[in-house]
């Protein structure tokens, strides 16, 4: 346990430009967490999915949001989960928490281009071969990496414009679904089990719900680039409300318009306009969602590259990973390595099994691993309340109201929800078309390989970094602030 400041709490604040304002942060928050295509797969559970959404908001999103707000006030710094876990748990646990928080960008690199290709195929009527599909995925993946290498301000300006289109799209999906239901004399999916807590039947939906709610902590990977500390609170509250409203509207739109046996788990949201009889709107929506997904993935790349940068600063990775582009001030090595690893995964995994099975399996593994990273900001809240009681007594920063007992209860609820989400995700396939045995084997292999890689990275990264003398390390750090002028 350490109360000393990490380099990642000092250096990024000096060398990275502060460019993210409140609206920027709300857009980042929504792009990182909100994927409208999630409504497609969740709607497969019928109207019970609405109950699972509400339960997910209450027992996971709210506790997670409260936890990260408190910790970001206690330790405002680049690196988020890593910094929080370091101060409350240990250096090794901090590395694991940071790794589990970072690995979603790799899995997203294998999922997002595949989803974008599916939407583009729907829009333009493509029927691509497996090889063509994989090649197009790689092209889209590297287009996102290339754009992430540009200045963060430029990337953010683009995402802000797309954010407005996103809001209009979600409203359009709901209005189109409502119009179809009114024209047909009722919802396409009969309203049954609207209010339910039957996790034995609908636990798989709960697991997916949590997947589409994880990521609350991710914007704090870029904590050094917030222009104002108070922006974090507005980001979390406004962003969380937008998430809740957006997911409920999009899911309702699918259920109102599309019969259960016709709901496509990937492109179902865009097909709502097809059910309305507006094929051109379906194509526009499909292209729009593809572009939104790729824009969101670009934001992912930027946010998660900061964790790799922090790992380099903290000697978990060679100093090569702390290299900043002199003009854009982006961690260029981190961005390139993220793209390279995702590319290898795309080629290997999508060439082995059906696209749908691999796509869903990657989503399942993403859920398990990303949820597991939540322990590293939920548990630290409890530890911090005891370990740093003097700071809670003397410092002025936002904390969960109600004192230590309420904070422990809030974190405990989040921990239980996280555990339940991992259990249901691992045991219940996201689709009846995927056998349970295949599902659990795929998730076990992906998660197992990930943990083995984490161990290898920690061992060899520390060994490599230890060869660097303290004088060499300090000399390198001194160059970070002088390689070009922040923009």
In a domain, 170, yes or no: yes
In the predicted model, what is the mean pLDDT of residues 329-349? 83
In a domain, 470, yes or no: yes
In the predicted model, what is the mean pLDDT of residues 259-285? 92
Where residue 263 falls (left for φ over 0; alpha for ψ -120 to 50; beta otherwise) is beta
pLDDT digits (tens, 9 = 90+) for 290-303: 988 888 888 778 77
2: number of Cβ within 10 Å: 11
Cα torsion at 3, 230, 221, 69 (round to 10°)? 70
Q: What is the pLDDT of residue 48?
A: 95
| The token pair that represents 185 in the structure block | 């004399």
Phi, psi of 168 (to 5 degrees): -65, -35
Output the DSSP codes for 440-487.
HHHHHHHHHHHHHHHHHHHHHHHHHHHTS-HHHHHHHHHHHTTSS---
Assign 61 a pLDDT band (cuts: 50, 70, 90).
very high
Q: What is the pLDDT of residue 334?
A: 82
H-assigned helices in 125-151: 130-148
* 331 three-state secondary structure: coil
Q: In whole angstroms, what is the distance from residue 465 CA to residue 474 CA?
A: 13
In a domain, 147, yes or no: yes
| The token pair that represents 24 in the structure block | 């920027």
State the pTM of this model.
Answer: 0.82
Residue 475 has pLDDT above 50, yes or no: no
In a domain, 72, yes or no: yes
* Residue whose C-alpha is closest to residue 153's, from 81, 213, 225: 225
The residue with tokens 């303290």 is: 470
In the predicted model, what is the mean pLDDT of residues 6-17? 52
Q: What is the pLDDT of residue 315?
A: 66
285: number of Cβ within 10 Å: 26
Q: How many folded domains does the chain comprise?
A: 1
In a domain, 18, yes or no: yes
Q: Which of 168-177, 343-352, 364-373, 429-438 has the lowest mean pLDDT?
A: 343-352
Assign 477 a pLDDT band (cuts: 50, 70, 90).
very low
Residue 227 has pLDDT above 60, yes or no: no
Bridge partners of 20, per DSSP, are 226
Domain of 354, CATH number, reads 1.20.1740.10
Assign 486 a pLDDT band (cuts: 50, 70, 90).
very low
In a domain, 169, yes or no: yes
Percent with pLDDT over 70 in the chain: 80
In the predicted model, what is the mean pLDDT of residues 384-391? 93
pLDDT digits (tens, 9 = 90+) for 153-206: 555 566 666 778 888 999 999 999 999 999 999 999 999 999 999 998 898 899
Q: In whole angstroms, what is the distance from residue 330 CA to residue 20 CA?
A: 14
Residue 469 has pLDDT above 70, yes or no: no
Assign 1 a pLDDT band (cuts: 50, 70, 90).
very low
**Distances in whole angstroms, Cα of residue 367 to Cα of each of 60, 78, 79, 426:** 13, 24, 21, 9
| The token pair that represents 416 in the structure block | 């239980």
Query: Domain range for residue 170?
Result: 7-430+452-480
**Distances in whole angstroms, Cα of residue 76 to Cα of each of 169, 311, 352, 422, 459:** 34, 17, 43, 29, 28
In a domain, 441, yes or no: no
Assign 467 a pLDDT band (cuts: 50, 70, 90).
low
Bridge partners of 226, per DSSP, are 20
Given a contact cutoff of 8 angstroms between Cβ atoms, the answer to whether 316 and 462 are in contact is yes
Q: Which of 29-43, 103-117, 293-307, 410-424 has the lowest mean pLDDT?
A: 293-307
Estimate the share of the chain in helix, then strand, then coil, as percent rounded to the nearest 5: 75, 0, 25
In a domain, 439, yes or no: no
| The token pair that represents 428 in the structure block | 């219940």
Q: What is the pLDDT of residue 74?
A: 87
Assign 482 a pLDDT band (cuts: 50, 70, 90).
very low
Q: What is the pLDDT of residue 119?
A: 92
CB-based burial label for 19 (10 Å; 0-12, 13-18, 19+): buried
Assign 401 a pLDDT band (cuts: 50, 70, 90).
very high
Given a contact cutoff of 8 angstroms between Cβ atoms, the answer to whether 307 and 101 are in contact is yes
Please indicate whether residue 106 or residue 142 has the higher confidence score (pLDDT): 142
155: number of Cβ within 10 Å: 23
Q: In whole angstroms, what is the distance from residue 224 CA to residue 81 CA?
A: 14
Please indicate whether residue 476 or residue 376 has the higher confidence score (pLDDT): 376
């Amino acid at each position: 346990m350490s109360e000393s400041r990490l380099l990642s709490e000092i250096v990024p604040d000096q060398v990275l430009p502060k460019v993210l304002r409140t609206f920027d942060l709300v857009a980042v928050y929504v792009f990182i967490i909100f994927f409208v295509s999630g409504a497609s797969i969740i709607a497969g559970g019928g109207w019970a999915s609405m109950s699972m959404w509400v339960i997910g908001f209450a027992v996971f999103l709210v506790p997670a949001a409260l936890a990260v707000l408190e910790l970001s006030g206690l330790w405002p710094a680049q690196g988020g989960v890593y910094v929080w876990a370091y101060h409350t748990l240990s250096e090794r646990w901090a590395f694991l928490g940071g790794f589990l928080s970072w690995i979603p960008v790799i899995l997203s690199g294998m999922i997002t281009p595949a989803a974008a290709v599916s939407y583009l195929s729907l829009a333009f009527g493509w029927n691509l071969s497996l090889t063509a599909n994989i090649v197009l995925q790689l092209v889209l993946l590297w287009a996102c990496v290339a754009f992430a290498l540009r200045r963060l301000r430029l990337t953010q300006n683009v995402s802000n414009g797309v954010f407005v289109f996103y809001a209009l799209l979600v409203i359009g999906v709901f209005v189109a679904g409502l119009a179809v239901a009114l024209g047909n004399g009722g919802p396409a999916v009969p309203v049954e089990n609207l209010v339910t807590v039957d996790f034995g039947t609908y636990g798989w939906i709960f697991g997916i719900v949590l997947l589409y709610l994880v990521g609350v902590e991710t914007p704090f990977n870029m904590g050094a680039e917030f222009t104002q500390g108070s922006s974090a609170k507005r980001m979390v509250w406004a962003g969380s409300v937008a998430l809740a409203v957006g997911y409920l509207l999009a899911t309702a739109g699918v259920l109102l318009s599309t019969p259960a046996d016709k709901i496509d788990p990937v492109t179902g949201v865009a097909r709502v306009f097809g059910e309305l009889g507006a094929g051109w709107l379906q194509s526009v929506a499909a292209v729009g969602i593809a572009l939104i997904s790729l824009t969101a993935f670009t934001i992912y790349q930027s946010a998660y590259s900061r964790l790799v940068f922090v790992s380099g600063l903290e000697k978990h990775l060679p100093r090569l990973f702390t290299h900043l582009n002199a003009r854009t001030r982006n961690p260029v090595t981190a961005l390139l390595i993220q793209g390279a690893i995702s590319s290898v995964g795309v080629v290997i995994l999508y060439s082995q099994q059906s696209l749908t099975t691999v796509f869903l399996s990657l989503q399942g593994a993403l859920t398990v691993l990303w949820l597991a990273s939540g322990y590293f900001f939920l548990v630290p809240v409890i530890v911090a309340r005891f370990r740093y009681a003097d700071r809670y007594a003397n410092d002025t920063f936002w904390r969960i109201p109600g004192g230590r007992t309420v904070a422990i209860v809030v974190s405990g609820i989040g921990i239980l929800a996280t555990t339940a989400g991992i259990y249901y995700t691992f045991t219940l396939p996201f689709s009846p078309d995927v056998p349970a045995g295949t599902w659990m084997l795929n998730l076990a292999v992906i998660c197992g390989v990930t943990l083995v890689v984490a161990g290898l990275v920690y061992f060899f990264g520390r060994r490599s970094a230890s060869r660097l003398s303290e004088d060499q390390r300090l000399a390198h750090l001194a160059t970070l602030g002088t390689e070009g002028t922040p923009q």
